[in-house]
Amino acid sequence: MSLIDPKLAEILVCPVDKADLTQDVEASRLECTECGRRYPVREGIPVMLVDEAEGGP
């Protein structure tokens, strides 16, 4: 199962360090593979705002 459209998932990157994102379906969020920031997905829409992210340095 995917949180977001697969085509969108292919092009989205972390806005901080431009690293790839993985999907955490259970927690409804995208996680940066580099810095560890976690971005929420609300109603199928990824919220890619640094102020809304959890974690990171």
- Per residue in 2-50, pLDDT (tens digit) is 899 999 999 999 999 999 999 999 999 999 999 999 999 999 999 999 9
State mean pLDDT over 48-56: 94
- CA-CA distances (angstroms) from residue 56 to 8, 17, 21, 23, 38? 23, 11, 13, 16, 8
Q: What is the pLDDT of residue 32?
A: 98
Q: What is the pLDDT of residue 35?
A: 97
Q: What is the pLDDT of residue 10?
A: 94
Which amino acid is located at 24 in the chain? Answer: D
Q: What is the pLDDT of residue 2?
A: 87
Domains belonging to the chain, first-starting first, are: 6-52 (2.20.25.10)
Q: Is the pLDDT of residue 1 over 80?
A: no
Give the contacts of 15 (CB within 8 A, at least 6 positions apart): 48, 49, 50
